[in-house]
């Protein structure tokens, strides 16, 4: 087994890349040493001094205007010490290899015998004599060189290490794997051997037995994500099955493994997503707790100030002002709008001066997280129509953990928030007399109670915003799919695992109907949840089962039995796997077909299910 390597170096930048003429000269001197070199050959260049060779290489590069960056490459071709090959044979082998690998390039070939194994050095000029193209030195090109080397080994009956230890001549194995495989220390080889043993073992039929078998061989298999990966215990690296197949053959491709061991890869991926979503939800809850803790700590040491005497007067003035805004807008009188805008600025300024008159410095203060102090503020906007009011600014609110939510209220309602223990920032619109209040999502109930409405008053606003964001994400991923459902169907979707795995937007329609939007690629999953017994695949399976039952009944000389049952009764019958039957949807019920021998079993299951329903109804009454 001979192995091709790109030789690393200290001065040239690693992986056999020579970048300077001085380093090129040193490399040529090294491989042509008399005490090391058995024989030296030259391909497309002269047998001269080192200076002449360097100059000749440089002339070719300059002729094609590519005398910069990487100028040469340094490779080695090594045989194991137990390979039955002579120095002359190794040199002729290397010369033939060079003529096929670098036919249009200048190459110096030197076979060394100074070590216990024969090896040959190649110094390759980076620019082709014919095309002027540079030779790519990367993993792909190195793999091609190794494949060419293996073809020559096969031609002259030299050894090639495959993915077992018995010399099976697989192609595409990289040099590192070959070397470790030769020393019987390659975990990739062990994995391929274990996978092959599992595939050939008739007792290993399903995913569970397959996983346990690999575990007994000290390999962990990971089904999460798009690709199935394997990892040996104690080894940090893992490998995809498709990547292993590129080196070991199509037998180890992921699709073949999935079919062989009946792996439900999609279901496993969904389970992983559910676990990941649960972790994200826990993290989100922790962030909310941190935000609530920050608020409680601040307000414990800085209780909000509230002027119980002046606030009612301010509320009355603000309400009148808000009404004048709406009247001005309806009449579309520009002069009144302008005057109202000036009045609103004055009233809002007076309002906040009265509310925070005890400490007027807080109007120009800034929040500092280093000092852990929150202060109220008022920053006039550059736009003439707006001003920002609150106990924190938007930047400070964004820096706190948790999701922000915006609620629009009347401007005259703002004083109601002054004595509440939660952070908020409001953007007041002078033209409309309204304010857009930004708070943390977990404070939505506190805002509702502060304004004197029920706790879930703004829940519809939050759901509408979340629904809008979901629909935007769905449209971003492609053309959305739509389904019209009733309340029962929608509840099935919300109770299923799909609701937490992907975005599903819900739009309420008339007559208690809902239009849901989703990514088109999950339509089959949604249909399986809503109509688990009416999908095309289930119908196809039952048609085949029905034909099978007809043939069995014909052979036995009996007639098939039929019965109409409900969906709950059908689910109970399906639990008995030893009963052979087919079923077909009939409006909201199902017609089942079965053999006479199973009549008593089915009758007992259906009657017990009906009895359970009656018992439940009796308890409810």
Find out whether 261 and 207 touch, Cβ atoms under 8 Å.
Answer: yes
Q: Where in the sequence is the domain holding 227, given as residue range(s)?
A: 175-263
pTM: 0.39
pLDDT-wise least confident of 51-65, 134-148, 253-267, 597-611: 253-267
Name the most confidently modeled range: 96-110, 273-287, 351-365, 602-616.
96-110
> What does the block give as tokens for 99?
């003529």
* Structural domains of the chain, count: 5
Is the same domain home to 413 and 332? Answer: yes
Domain-embedded: residue 293: no
At 124, the pLDDT band (50, 70, 90 cuts) reads very high
- Pick the last residue of a domain from 474, 501, 530: 530
Output the domain CATH number for residue 577.
3.30.70
Is the same domain home to 526 and 560? Answer: no
Is the same domain home to 320 and 389? Answer: yes
User: Rounded CA gap, 588 and 424, in Å?
Assistant: 51
* Average pLDDT score, the chain: 76
Domain-embedded: residue 168: no
pLDDT-wise least confident of 21-30, 123-132, 209-218, 607-616: 607-616
pLDDT of residue 349: 58
> What does the block give as tokens for 508?
């309420």
pLDDT-wise least confident of 86-95, 181-190, 484-493: 181-190
**pLDDT tens per residue across span 135-176:** 988 878 888 888 888 888 888 888 765 443 333 434 455 555
At 268, the pLDDT band (50, 70, 90 cuts) reads low
Domain-embedded: residue 486: yes
pLDDT of residue 369: 31
**pLDDT tens per residue across span 553-578:** 988 899 999 998 888 888 888 877 67
φ, ψ of residue 521 to 5 degrees: the values are: -70, -10
Res. 202: pLDDT tops 90? no
- Pick the last residue of a domain from 530, 545, 566: 530
Is the same domain home to 432 and 487? Answer: no
Is the same domain home to 480 and 523? Answer: yes
Which of 429, 444, 415 has its CA nearest to residue 383?
Answer: 429
Which of 587, 542, 549, 598 has its CA nearest to residue 565?
Answer: 587
Is the same domain home to 147 and 194? Answer: no
pLDDT of residue 183: 56
The whole-number average pLDDT for the span 358-370 is 33
Is the same domain home to 394 and 496? Answer: no
**pLDDT tens per residue across span 288-330:** 787 778 777 777 777 765 443 333 433 444 444 444 444 444 4
Which of 410, 420, 234 has its CA nearest to residue 325?
Answer: 410
Res. 43: pLDDT tops 90? yes
The whole-number average pLDDT for the span 451-465 is 77
Burial of 191 by CB count in 10 Å (0-12 exposed, 13-18 middle, 19+ buried)?
A: buried
Q: For the CA atoms of 129, 134, 139, 144, what is the dihedral angle to 10 degrees?
A: -30
Output the domain CATH number for residue 9.
3.30.930.30
The larger pLDDT score, comparing residue 225 to residue 456, is at: 456
Domain-embedded: residue 274: no
Bridge partners of residue 390, in order along the sequence? 377, 425
Domain-embedded: residue 286: no
The whole-number average pLDDT for the span 489-514 is 81
- Pick the last residue of a domain from 200, 233, 263: 263
Is the same domain home to 410 and 339? Answer: yes
Is the same domain home to 309 and 448? Answer: yes
* Tally of CA atoms within 13 A in the half-sphere of 193 that contains its CB: 18
Is the same domain home to 481 and 410? Answer: no
At 203, the pLDDT band (50, 70, 90 cuts) reads confident
CA distances from 561 to 545, 550, 558 (A): 14, 11, 9
Q: In what order do the strands lie in the sheet with 404-410?
A: 377-380, 386-390, 425-429, 434-440, 404-410
Domain-embedded: residue 289: no
The larger pLDDT score, comparing residue 334 to residue 193, is at: 193
Domain-embedded: residue 277: no
Domain-embedded: residue 342: yes
Is the same domain home to 314 and 452? Answer: yes
> What does the block give as tokens for 455?
């706790």
Find out whether 568 and 609 touch, Cβ atoms under 8 Å.
Answer: yes
User: Rounded CA gap, 407 and 589, in Å?
Assistant: 47
Res. 361: pLDDT tops 50? no
Res. 120: pLDDT tops 90? yes
Is the same domain home to 435 and 515? Answer: no
């Amino acid at each position: 087994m001979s192995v091709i390597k790109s030789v690393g170096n200290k001065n040239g930048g690693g992986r056999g890349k020579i970048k300077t003429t001085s380093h090129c000269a040193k490399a040529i001197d090294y491989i042509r040493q008399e005490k090391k070199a058995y024989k030296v050959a030259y391909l497309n260049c002269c047998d001269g001094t080192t200076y002449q060779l360097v100059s000749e290489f440089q002339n070719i590069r300059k002729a094609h205007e590519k005398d910069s960056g990487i100028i040469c490459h340094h490779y080695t071709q090594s045989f194991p010490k137990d390979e039955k090959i002579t120095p002359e044979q190794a040199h002729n082998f290397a010369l033939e290899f060079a003529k096929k690998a670098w036919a249009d390039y200048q190459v110096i070939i030197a076979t060394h015998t100074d070590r216990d194994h024969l090896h040959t050095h190649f110094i390759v000029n980076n620019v082709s004599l014919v095309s002027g193209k540079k030779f790519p030195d990367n993993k792909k090109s190195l793999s091609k060189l190794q494949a060419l080397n293996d073809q020559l080994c096969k031609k002259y009956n030299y050894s090639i290490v495959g993915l077992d230890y018995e010399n099976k001549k697989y192609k595409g194995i990289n040099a590192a794997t070959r070397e470790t495989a030769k020393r019987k220390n390659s975990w990739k080889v062990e994995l391929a051997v274990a996978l092959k043993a599992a595939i050939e073992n008739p007792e290993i039929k399903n995913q569970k037995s397959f996983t346990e078998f690999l575990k007994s061989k000290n390999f962990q298999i990971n089904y999460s994500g798009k690709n199935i990966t394997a990892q040996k215990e104690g080894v940090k690296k893992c490998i995809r099955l498709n990547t292993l197949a590129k080196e070991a053959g199509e037998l180890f491709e992921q699709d073949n493994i999935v079919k062989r061991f009946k792996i439900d890869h999609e279901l496993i991926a969904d389970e992983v997503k559910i676990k990941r979503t649960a972790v994200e939800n826990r993290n989100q809850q922790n962030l909310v707790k941190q935000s609530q803790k920050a608020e409680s700590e601040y307000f414990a040491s800085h209780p909000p100030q509230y002027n119980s005497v002046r606030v009612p007067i301010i509320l009355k003035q603000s309400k009148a002002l808000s009404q004048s805004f709406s009247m001005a807008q309806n009449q579309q009188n520009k002069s009144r709008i302008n005057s109202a805008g000036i009045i609103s600025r004055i009233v809002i300024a007076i309002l906040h001066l009265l509310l925070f008159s005890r400490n007027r410095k807080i109007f120009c203060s800034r929040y500092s997280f280093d000092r852990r102090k929150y202060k109220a503020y008022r920053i006039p906007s550059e736009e003439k129509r707006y001003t920002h009011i609150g106990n924190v600014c938007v930047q400070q609110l964004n820096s706190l953990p948790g999701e922000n939510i915006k609620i629009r209220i009347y401007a005259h309602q703002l004083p109601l928030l002054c004595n509440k223990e939660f952070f908020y920032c409001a953007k007041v619109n002078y033209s409309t007399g309204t304010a857009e209040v930004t708070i943390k999502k977990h404070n939505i109930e506190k805002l509702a109670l502060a304004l004197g409405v029920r706790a879930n008053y703004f829940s519809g606003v939050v759901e509408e915003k979340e629904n809008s964001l979901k629909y935007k994400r769905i449209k971003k991923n492609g053309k959305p799919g739509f389904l019209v459902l009733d309340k029962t169907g929608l509840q099935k979707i919300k109770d299923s695992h799909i609701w937490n795995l992907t975005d599903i937007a819900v739009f309420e329609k008339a007559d208690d109907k809902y239009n849901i939007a989703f990514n088109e690629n999950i339509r089959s999953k949604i249909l399986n949840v809503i109509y688990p017994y009416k999908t095309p695949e289930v119908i196809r399976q039952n048609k085949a089962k029905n034909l099978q039952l007809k043939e069995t009944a014909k052979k036995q000389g009996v007639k098939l039995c039929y019965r109409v049952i409900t969906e709950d009764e059908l689910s109970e019958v399906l639990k008995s796997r030893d009963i052979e039957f087919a079923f077909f949807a009939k409006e909201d019920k199902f017609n089942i077909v079965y053999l006479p021998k199973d009549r008593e079993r089915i009758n007992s299951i259906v009657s017990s299910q009906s009895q359970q329903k009656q018992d439940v109804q009796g308890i409810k009454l």
